[in-house]
Structure 1
Amino acid sequence: MSQSKSLLANIGVQVVIAMIIGTAVGAFMGHSAAMFAPLGAIFINLIKMLVIPLVAVALISGAAGLGNSTNAGKVGFSTLAYFALTSALAVALALIMGEIFKPGVGIDVSSVEGMFSGEYASKGELPSFWATVTGMIPTNVFASLTNANILQILVFCLFFGLALSKQPKKNREPILQGVNTIVDAMVWMINCVMKIAPIGVFGLMAEAVGTFGFSALMVVFKLFLVFIAAILVFGFVIYPLLVQLFTKTSAKSFLVAMKKPQAVALSTASSMATLPVTMNTVENELGVRNATASFVLPLGATINMSGNAIYYGLVAVFFAQLFNIDLSMGAYVAIILTSTLGAVGQAGVPGPSFLVVAVLLAAGIPIEGLPLLFALDRIFDMIRTALNITGDAACAVIIDNIAIEASDLTESEVKQS
């Protein structure tokens, strides 16, 4: 009896139960379930209120901690290399599964032509390389904070944290203690907000299922199944395998620890909203040091989008098959590059993803059929976000292990000399 009570007291279990009840209520009530939308909106707004300040102070703390170490450059390079490689691998997996299971074959185009639209052609322009780089540098950091421009906040806070680490110890220590105290205070606030998470999750799920229903799934049902399969392969095979191979953490303990952040990611469809929960799990359950978690996780929530990469790759194959277009090797390369690079500019917040337009245009695939996906974008978004944050956590565990080994190696070299 006491064991079942303690299980029900677990916030992760409560969130999953709330998702199930919300789904059932949404399916039963239909559009009337929109009456529960304010519950979800209040929860999301409370999280958004705290996320930007938390990201800012956590990045400053993480960058300052890393800047003090001898292997800061190695940690930064390894993190970026991991994000790039896993995103490219995710797109490649999506393309392979798309070609094997052919989700776009056998659909009668004439039956869905009424949903086609040409209005999205102008939304697929990716900024040039230099436009992206200059756009990352804030001219007014307070405006960046006000507008929640995550990339600009990230650049300034990393630079500022690094600068703090280079100051004399007696000058920097009080400031860093203050920053870390603010991080602790923000985490306390987040924990308070998480107590109402089940209520918010119930509202979000009831509205999503009630508004879109399951009928919209039928047209893209095969695509949805292949997408789920690809996400499961990447999230429950590839990431745990990487953790098992490159760290002392077992794949099983990694997957068990990730249940709670995955449940929150599924319900909020936002890497940023899930960030506090991911940080708490990675530090307290997976034993990652605060300096590593504070650097890797906010960075990952901004630029690591392996779930999105899988989605872009599969959608490209889906529409190519729908319109009977044979993709060349050049088109495959264009899809992989656009999906991998484009995800960097996609902030970790929920909403219809127009980056898929850029991917389709890069491969010469018609984009008129995109409205077929928009009704289900929230459901796709929820699932790919769960994979995104799993990748962030796996990265933090792996990078922390690399950093510890590198520091141990340096210490032994010092002793020998």
Structure 2
Amino acid sequence: MSQNAHKYSLTTRIFIGMVAGILIGVLLQLIFDDSGDLRFSIFGYSISTYNILVDGIFSTLGQIFIASLKMLVVPLVFVSLICGTSSLTEPSKLGRLGVKSIGLYIFTTAIAISLAISLGLLVSPGVGVEAPSDAVFQAQQAPSFGQVILDMFPTNPINSLAEGKMLQIIIFAVLLGVAMAMCGEAGKRIASFFEDLNTVIMRLVTIIMNLAPYGVFVLMAKLFSSIGVNMLENLAKYFFLVLAVLIIHGLVTYSVLLKAFTGLNPMMLFYKMRDAAQFAFSTASSSATLPVTMETAQNKLGVGKSVSSFTLPLGSTINMDGTAIMQGVATVFIAQVYGVDLTVSDYLMVVLTATLASVGTAGVPGVGLIMLAMVLQQVNLPVEGIALIIGVDRLLDMTRTAVNITGDCTVACIIAKSENELDATRFNNKKAGLKEEEVDLEHFDKNS
């Protein structure tokens, strides 16, 4: 790899890839019409390469990049969690970590949806918008809370690993780690193997991160070549309100919590989260971004492994601040579109339902829309209203994923500080983690 490839930092290269992808996507929209044909002819011929570029090259390469990230999630969570729990000297620490993590995640989610509803009522994004008669949305059935609790415990750990059932993986890894810690020398020998395996997996994470600018480029090019601008115009008030609440919650709420509980500088957190946030924005998946989030927390923010390996996988599964914000604004928006007046008790019920549902529907595909359907049914609003906002939900999903993983790292820092497992020197060092971040692939290949 040439020296010019490392002339710019990884953050800069990811940003360049993102901007270039957006510009290419917009350019493709201008050149090609809705059917994929050129809007103009060249020498009398209309040549279409839209499907080859967008549905072929961009789509395939983008899916490969996402698959590469997801490939790391299960082994990373499983191995790092075993390493973290097997090194614990006091079993009671696991209980504290669990109570603190879940408590803080639920607390920030309640703040998020309360803020969203308040600003939604203030701005009134649904006033003046007509409800189309053909709006249809089929919501998946969410499991009961009791079923969710049962589904957390694996009957076949190998099957859980194969299917990527994160809560089951977390519980199995924690139990296995605790058992290793209680087995003396035998446990230490196995723990040594997992420590070496964890080192190898983290190196694999850095290799994938070096390929991120190219993956981000094709993802952005694919997305922005197919976004309907007219749909964004019709929902502009809703779209920008959700975006504004996400930004306020991400910058203000997390800053206040971090400063109040740890005394650390929030700007340093945001500065070091930039790579992970760009990953999250591009992939729109907290789980796919998890390897980068954990690398950021451990190497750049100084969060201890025993805390990060437990708190972050749990957060990527149950922390739904961004989704809660969408639900709050969407509930107000749909109520106003259909002319339904909700009472104060209705809005309190929305806050309670959405907060509890953030944990209760953790493992369900399409969790955001399922949770929104549950909330709407709770206050007797038409579920069909979800069809109104689906068109712009992809862009908002990207932004709320970035907010979610920022919340995950904020909570991880707070808990690590309370457990005396936060390296403040590393947190405050702008250059901390750069050696792990900038991997020279050419040098790595020669010595592998």
- TM beyond 0.5: yes
* 1:72 lines up with 2:97 in the alignment: no
Distance 1:348 1:276 in 2: 21
Contiguous gaps of at least 5 residues in structure 1: 407-417
Q: 1:120: which partner in 2?
A: 138
State the one-letter code of the partner of 2:25. Answer: G
Distance 1:184 1:347 in 2: 28
C-alpha contact (below 8 Å) 1:59/1:154 kept by paired residues? yes
Which of 237, 258, 268 does residue 243 from structure 1 map onto? Answer: 258
Identity, % of aligned positions: 35
Change (3 A) 1:248 1:46: same
Q: 1:34: which partner in 2?
A: 55
Distance 1:253 1:6 in 2: 26
**SS at 2:23's partner residue?**
helix
CA displacement 1:255-283 (0-9 Å, x = unmatched): 11111110110001111111111111111
Distance 1:95 1:301 in 2: 24
Shift of 1:7: 8.5
Shift of 1:219: 2.1
State the one-letter code of the partner of 1:209. Answer: F
Q: 1:362: which partner in 2?
A: 378
Higher helix share: 1
Shift of 1:6: 9.4
**SS at 2:419's partner residue?**
helix
C-alpha contact (below 8 Å) 2:81/2:310 kept by paired residues? yes
State the one-letter code of the partner of 1:241. Answer: V
Alignment TM-score, normalising by the size of structure 1:
0.89
Alignment TM-score, normalising by the size of structure 2:
0.83
Which of 412, 416, 419 does residue 403 from structure 1 map onto? Answer: 419
C-alpha contact (below 8 Å) 1:12/1:260 kept by paired residues? yes
C-alpha contact (below 8 Å) 2:160/2:169 kept by paired residues? yes
Shift of 1:315: 0.9
C-alpha contact (below 8 Å) 1:14/1:198 kept by paired residues? yes
Contiguous gaps of at least 5 residues in structure 2: 30-35, 37-49, 423-448
Which of 275, 283, 299 does residue 260 from structure 1 map onto? Answer: 275
Which aligned pairs between 1:81-92 and structure 2 lie closer than 5 A? 81-92=103-114
Shift of 1:382: 0.6
Q: 1:56: which partner in 2?
A: 78
Change (3 A) 1:207 1:258: same
> How many pairs were matched up?
395
Q: 1:102: which partner in 2?
A: 124
* 1:342 lines up with 2:357 in the alignment: yes
Distance 1:69 1:6 in 2: 47
**SS at 1:294's partner residue?**
helix
Q: 1:24: which partner in 2?
A: 23
Larger deviation, residues 175-184 vs 83-92? 175-184
State the one-letter code of the partner of 1:283. Answer: Q
CA displacement 1:83-102 (0-9 Å, x = unmatched): 11111111111111111111
Change (3 A) 1:71 1:318: same
Distance 1:129 1:16 in 2: 41
CA displacement 1:17-55 (0-9 Å, x = unmatched): 111111111111136333411121110111111211111
CA displacement 1:337-371 (0-9 Å, x = unmatched): 22122222334988873321111111211121222
Change (3 A) 1:151 1:184: same
Distance 2:177 2:344 in 1: 43
Q: 2:404: which partner in 1?
A: 388
Distance 2:364 2:191 in 1: 27
C-alpha contact (below 8 Å) 1:269/1:349 kept by paired residues? no
Distance 2:356 2:12 in 1: 36
Q: 2:13: which partner in 1?
A: 14
